[in-house]
Amino acid sequence: MNISIPHFGLKRQYVNLKDELLEATDNVLREGILVDGEYTRKFETWLARKNKCNYAIVTHSGTQALEFIAQYVRFRDLSDNSTKPKIILPNLSYPATLNAFLSNGWEVELSDTNKYGCLPVDTLEDFSTLPGVHNYVYHCYVGLYGTESPLYFNKRTIVDGAQHWLSAFGNIGMGMAISFDPTKNLNASGNGGAVVTHDKGLFEFVNKAKDNGKSEYDYPGTNSKMSEIDCAHLLVRTQYIDEWQARRKQIAEMYLSGFAGLPIRCLSEGAYHHSYQKFVIYTNDRNNLHSYLNEHGIVTKVHYPYTLSELPVAAGLVKPDMMSTSVMLSRGVLSLPIYPELTDIEVTYIIDKIKKFYDR
């Protein structure tokens, strides 16, 4: 039997939404407003409501959204104090998390993670009670693979919500960056991101910074916008996102049940809340399992094969040692397909192949 299960379901999604997406595209092009129009405003309104916050503003990418937050905090803090701010980052994340702060002149410290790949709760609790002398120290929570924290964040928490924002339920700290990369749960047809926040100052800063500093031009800006077509497409997909999330959870439950008793650990198991942006397992035999599944038509990915501390750009930063939990995770994590268009037959096939791998 010739089976082919892609890692992402974008082709399948398009088949299901083709007529609606093409109609949305036609509506935008006929109106002739391709940026900063009706669909952008409607999507920002939906996004603020979904995140239980006062403000939402779209950007060209999730990376730029996080960069804008980093710029704002540094700009604000340096206007009050000559000491540049410090950020504590989890050691396991996509490099964009680290780059957003390094490129904006922050002092960065890399911290070890818990077994889910996130900053440990006790670290966050200790941090939240630091005395006032540390007002220029922040931490960045990354909901790796879709994991939300059980701790409610304070104003010194910057949230990289690229993978977990749909399970944040308003827990966004002083501001949260979102990605609408095509591989995310709610995807744009191109690139896209957003900042969501309760902070009016951050909202006003991003509004100017994303439009080249208009209208006062009192600090440098850039051009960072989403197209009206992308926002219109996202509005189409918002009609299905709750249904899609329910299906992701259903697939995750099938995996969790099917893998019981195997020498693997599911990183979503036991998590507080989860958006299942990825379904990641940890195994001591990652590379062989990765090859075995690909040979049987199941495309898997590794997120991520390195930690931030191992990147050349991190040379000289405070970082965990090579025996840290985050380093060990990077050597054994493997992402399985999880998207709403997967069939039960395909999920069962994946489970059966993994069982057979360990039965050999």
Q: Would you state the structure tokens that stand for residue 194, as one six-digit string? A: 């957003």
Alpha-carbon distance of 21 to 190, in angstroms, equals 13
Q: Looking at residues 147-162, what average pLDDT do you find? A: 92
pLDDT > 90 in the chain, percent: 83
SS3 content of the chain, % helix, strand, coil (to 5): 45, 15, 40
**Domain boundaries of the chain, sorted by first residue:** 10-238, 241-359
* Confidence grade of residue 133 (pLDDT, cut at 50, 70, 90): very low
Q: Domain 241-359 belongs to what topology?
A: Aspartate Aminotransferase, domain 1 (3.90.1150)
* Confidence grade of residue 247 (pLDDT, cut at 50, 70, 90): very high
268 contacts: CB under 8 Å, gap ≥ 6:
116, 145, 146, 147, 252, 256, 274, 276, 279, 280
Residue 132, pLDDT > 50, answer no
Q: Domain 10-238 belongs to what topology?
A: Aspartate Aminotransferase; domain 2 (3.40.640)
pLDDT per position as a tens digit, 291-324 = 999 999 999 999 999 999 999 999 999 899 877 9
Average pLDDT, the chain: 93
Q: Please give the residue that has the higher pLDDT: either 278 or 216.
A: 278
Q: Please give the residue that has the higher pLDDT: either 130 or 63.
A: 63
Tell me if the pTM is above 0.85.
yes
